[in-house]
Chains A and B, each alone.
Chain A
Amino acid sequence: MQPNSFLNALIRNDKKVIKRIYKDNYAKVLYFILKNKGNRDDAADIFQKALLQLILRYKKEPFQIKISFEAYLFTVCKNLWRRELNKSKHKVTNSKVVELIDDDTDIALAALEQERWELFHEHLEKLSENCRKVLKLFFNKIPYAKIVENLNYNSETVARQRVFKCKNKLKDLISKDKRFKTLTQL
């Protein structure tokens, strides 16, 4: 089955395919979540939400999955779990009063956030291997001294310039994307 046939089957409410998706993918997601501070209930919840998110997005505007459906679904699940783990932190730092949102709205929000995540990552992939490496370290808050050591730069100044250049390139690519406006002002 082509990746997109899965999506088409999902929005057709094809029960056989839905069962098959569970059979082929659930174990891997469960395993990942158990390994990362989650339990079985979390896994059941995340898997369901991931499928709903895909349906929602596909119904709004059909898109092409360029990798296997399994791999794509797994990425969405991983991101949803990362999102879940960060939720409490987000609520605390956000000074605004957080209104209670229902499950469906939350799925819609997560869908938007996933779209934005993909937009950012698509452009990151366009950078050179070297840029991606240094940015990855930088965004993971690795101190410059360590970056110099890891990537064999001559000095911290060189590393800083490199980060500055790569980051600007990335920002430039992202801001020129036509999806940028709607997605970054979230």
Chain B
Amino acid sequence: MEKDFRLIEDYLTGQLNKDQKKAVEDRLEQDPEFKQQFEFEKQLFDTFNDNSWNFADKNDLALNSYKSTVHSDDFQKIKESIADAGKDYEPEKLNRRNNSSWILYVAAAVVIVLIAVQVLLKNSVTNEELYYTYINLEDLPSFVTRNEAPKQTLAKAENFFEQKKYEASIALFEDILIENEKDSRVYIYLGIAYTESGNYDQATKTFNQLIASDLLDAEKGYWYKALLYLKTNDEKASKSLLETIIANKYYNAEQAVELLNKL
């Protein structure tokens, strides 16, 4: 059994040569039990790999239970309402673009020239602007999955954070750190929350704790600390940290290169 799993694993992670692959594929056709194991393993990979998706190909029964709902009048009516509400947010309609396309091209050219001139004249944005460009608050890893009770505090803390109620989220995140097993995301959220509420000393401390921890993502602390220094206008300290990140290929090394060039 264990040997089979190893084989399936090697197949799915692309470690077999052509002949070995062929052997697995042949066996898939002949051995239903092996095939079943294989499918399950593949589903796990497709579900939990960040770059894949576990597609449904069949199961008409389950699909049919949806189909009747899809074709109901009710559903079609709600669909219209949603399309209506979405109109305010849709990009400009195509036909308008066609009618006046040359004007748009000229306008675009003018804008490009203007931007170029602006970049030349005013060669740098403020450090605070850079901070907000790179901290990327929307993209912070979320704690949110459908969970049982203990994780509610995390979701609540994250929610406060998103609503920019930083004091409230700090209180919750601090509690979580005291009680719970450590999680690098908690440090990151907490550090940023301190930064946003102007408590730079605590923010520094928090990121230092992350860096000193034995967590998998400890190195992320360098990146967020570098951004913190940027926010406090300490360019020298920020640069030195960015260089550390690049030299050690820590988290976000590529972005660090980009940012360093802008400083």
User: Residues of A with Cβ closer than 8 Å to B?
Assistant: 10-11, 13, 15, 18-19, 21-22, 26, 28, 30-32, 35, 39-41, 44, 47-48, 51-52, 55-56, 59-60, 65-68, 70-72, 74-75, 79, 82-83, 85-86, 90, 94, 96, 104-105, 107-109, 111-113, 116-118, 120-122, 124-125, 129, 133, 135-136, 139-141, 150-152, 164, 167, 170-171, 175, 182-186
A-B pairs with beta carbons under 8 Å apart, 18 shown: A13-B77, A48-B83, A51-B82, A56-B75, A59-B69, A59-B74, A60-B65, A66-B147, A71-B142, A74-B142, A83-B53, A94-B57, A104-B71, A112-B66, A116-B54, A141-B14, A171-B44, A186-B56
How distant is the Cα of A121 from the Cα of B70 in the complex, in angstroms?
Answer: 26
How distant is the Cα of A70 from the Cα of B144 in the complex, in angstroms?
Answer: 10
A44 touches B63 (CB 8 A): no
**Given contact pairs A15-B85, A86-B53, A96-B57, a sample of 7 additional A-B residue pairs in the complex whose CB atoms are under 8 Å apart:** A52-B79, A74-B144, A75-B142, A83-B55, A120-B47, A122-B147, A186-B55
- B67 to chain A: which residues have CB within 8 Å? 104-105, 108
How distant is the Cα of A85 from the Cα of B49 in the complex, in angstroms?
Answer: 13
- CB-CB nearest in chain B for A53: B66
How distant is the Cα of A71 from the Cα of B142 in the complex, in angstroms?
Answer: 9
How distant is the Cα of A22 from the Cα of B88 in the complex, in angstroms?
Answer: 9
- A167 to chain B: which residues have CB within 8 Å? 44
User: Residues of B with Cβ closer than 8 Å to A?
Assistant: 2, 5, 13-14, 39-40, 43-45, 47-59, 61-63, 65-67, 69-71, 74-75, 77-79, 81-86, 88-91, 138-139, 142, 144-148, 151-152, 155, 158-159, 162, 181, 214, 216
How distant is the Cα of A89 from the Cα of B65 in the complex, in angstroms?
Answer: 28
Interface centre among B58, B66, B138 (most CB of A within 10 A): B66
A71 touches B159 (CB 8 A): yes
- A164 to chain B: which residues have CB within 8 Å? 2, 5
B58 touches A44 (CB 8 A): no
A136 touches B48 (CB 8 A): yes
3 closest cross-chain pairs (CB), A and B: A186-B56, A108-B66, A139-B48
A48 touches B55 (CB 8 A): no
Question: Which single member of B61, B63, B181 contacts A109 (CB below 8 Å)?
Answer: B63
- CB-CB nearest in chain B for A22: B85
Given contacts A22-B88, A68-B155, A112-B59, contact A60 B66 (CB under 8 A): yes
Given contacts A48-B82, A184-B43, contact A111 B66 (CB under 8 A): yes
How distant is the Cα of A86 from the Cα of B144 in the complex, in angstroms?
Answer: 23
- CB-CB nearest in chain A for B142: A71
A125 touches B148 (CB 8 A): yes
Given contacts A116-B56, A170-B44, contact A71 B50 (CB under 8 A): no
Min Cβ gap B87→A in Å is: 9
B81 touches A13 (CB 8 A): yes
Given contacts A67-B155, A122-B146, A182-B61, contact A113 B56 (CB under 8 A): yes
- A48 to chain B: which residues have CB within 8 Å? 82-83, 86
- B5 to chain A: which residues have CB within 8 Å? 164
Interface centre among A65, A86, A139 (most CB of B within 10 A): A139
A184 touches B144 (CB 8 A): no
Given contacts A48-B86, A171-B40, contact A90 B53 (CB under 8 A): yes
- CB-CB nearest in chain A for B69: A59
Question: Which single member of A71, A107, A182 contacts B70 (CB below 8 Å)?
Answer: A107
